Amino acid sequence: CGFNSIDDEFPDEKRAILSHDPRTAEEIAEQVVHAIVNAEKGGKHLHKTLNNIVGATGWTEKVAEWTLAKLEQALKEASKLGPALKEAYDKAWEAARGIEGFVQEHPVFCTVIALGVLVMIAPWAIEALGFGELGPIEGSFAALWQARYAGYVPKGSLFSFFQRLGMT
């Protein structure tokens, strides 16, 4: 009778808050890594692109862990990297080579490179992995990494290197 429905006049304000992203953390990470691999350059544009991909889910620890794992896989095919990722990869590789006593055959070499790349391209993901300002966040990837050192973090070790990265 000439009246608009109540739904048209008063949209459900909670709908936006309660919306659920049907993608899994792994699917989000796959899209994040695809964007990183194909990026022409880093900076604000890439940051905005990655945040748009992550969306309302946010940079959770699971998204960061999957991103790290998928980035490790992508880095194994260095010839297919876009310019932004290739530059970050080269810098991370050189920095890792400079760590005293660390060799390319080390079992976590690819993880080290991937973490270094994340520090340069998506530093907020390092915090999501648990490398916090005051130390590793309990129950996080960083805490598990530290546990490998049995609580002792030697000066110049890989963990102390990544801890410094998380503190910046």
The H or E element spanning position 35 is: helix 25-38
User: Please, which pLDDT band fits residue 15 given cuts at 50, 70 and 90?
Assistant: very low
Mean pLDDT score of the chain = 76
Per-residue HEC secondary structure of 61-83 comes to HHHHHHHHHHHHHHHCCHHHCCH
pTM: 0.69
* Cα–Cα distance for residue pair 132/134, rounded to 1 Å: 6
For 25, the token pair is 């953390």
| Section 10-30 average pLDDT | 71
Q: Which residue has the tokens 């969306």?
A: 55
The per-residue pLDDT for range 96-122, each reduced to its tens digit, is 776 666 656 655 667 777 877 887 888
For 48, the token pair is 């905005």
Helix, strand or coil for residue 96? helix
